[in-house]
Amino acid sequence: MTTLVERFRGLLKAGAVVDPGLSIEKIPFVVVDTELTGLDMKRDSVISVGAVKMAGTRIELGRSFYRLVSPRADFKRESIVVHGITPDDVVAKPFLDVVADELLAFCGDRILVGHFLSIDLGFLAREAPAVRAADLRRRAVDTVRIHTWVEHQRHRHAGEYATPEGAVNLVSLALSHGIRVGGAHNALADAFITAQLLQRQLRALPGLGVRTLGDLLRVGKP
């Protein structure tokens, strides 16, 4: 029997993507986030993965994914302060290559979403052969890229030539949209916050001419 992971890889190899003409209100999304031991791609490692599914602007609250991962790198005190995960929390947890197969099966052929998604994909691909970042980017959008594009369009339409710089980290953008943010970072909680941010963006995009999946991939490509 063909596994979900094998089916997913087959879709990527065949170049299959959800219909680019699909309206953004009907796009099946999956929002992904990771927590790390640090941001050094060569020395740090994934310690947790979270994901939540969306149907257009609707977050599917009962359809989420969360796994702790046994990292291949040592913990850093400063990273523990950020995410609150300790070495004891991941004792006997699976390595990322096992969790990655589960994540890919959960994602299926949905459009991938993340905040600074290239960072997540980079770490996932480095540690798990099943994750092919280049293939995934072809059918993914980044909420940072969408935000930057929206702001550029608004200032251009207002006759301004420079887009004011501002913080684009997840917490700052969430707060600017009235989204509640908790304390320590958590991969599933951050995926949920990112999903809420995408909700706000999807509601604003049609007024700027972005109405289909093809349009969204054009402005939000990681």
Encode pLDDT of 176-210 as tens digits.
Answer: 999 999 866 899 999 999 999 999 999 999 999 99
Q: Is the Cβ–Cβ distance between 220 and 146 less than 8 Å?
A: yes
In a domain, 222, yes or no: no
In a domain, 97, yes or no: yes
Count of domains in the chain? 1
Task: Report pLDDT for 209.
Answer: 96
Residue 31 lies in a domain: yes
| Model confidence band, residue 8 (pLDDT cutoffs 50, 70, 90) | very low
Residue 142: CATH number of its domain: 3.30.420.10
pLDDT tops 50 at residue 15: no
Task: State the residue range of the domain holding 138.
Answer: 4-217
More reliable by pLDDT, 7 or 219:
219
**Predicted pLDDT of residue 1:** 39
Question: Quick one: average pLDDT of 84-109?
Answer: 93
- The predicted pLDDT at position 161 comes to 52
Residue in 129, 146, 130, 134 with CA at minimum distance from that of residue 31: 146
pLDDT for the residue numbered 157: 65
Report whether pLDDT(49) > 90. Answer: yes
Q: Where are the alpha helices (DSSP H) in the chain?
A: 4-14, 77-83, 96-107, 117-127, 133-137, 143-157, 170-176, 187-204, 213-220
77 pLDDT band (50/70/90 cuts)?
A: confident
- Residue 212 covered by a domain: yes
pLDDT of 46 strictly over 90 = yes
Say if 93 falls within a structural domain.
yes
| Residue 92: inside a domain | yes
Residue 2 reports pLDDT greater than 50: no
C-alpha to C-alpha distance for 206 and 197, rounded to whole angstroms: 16
Residue 196 included in any domain? yes
Considering the domain boundaries, does residue 99 fall inside one? yes
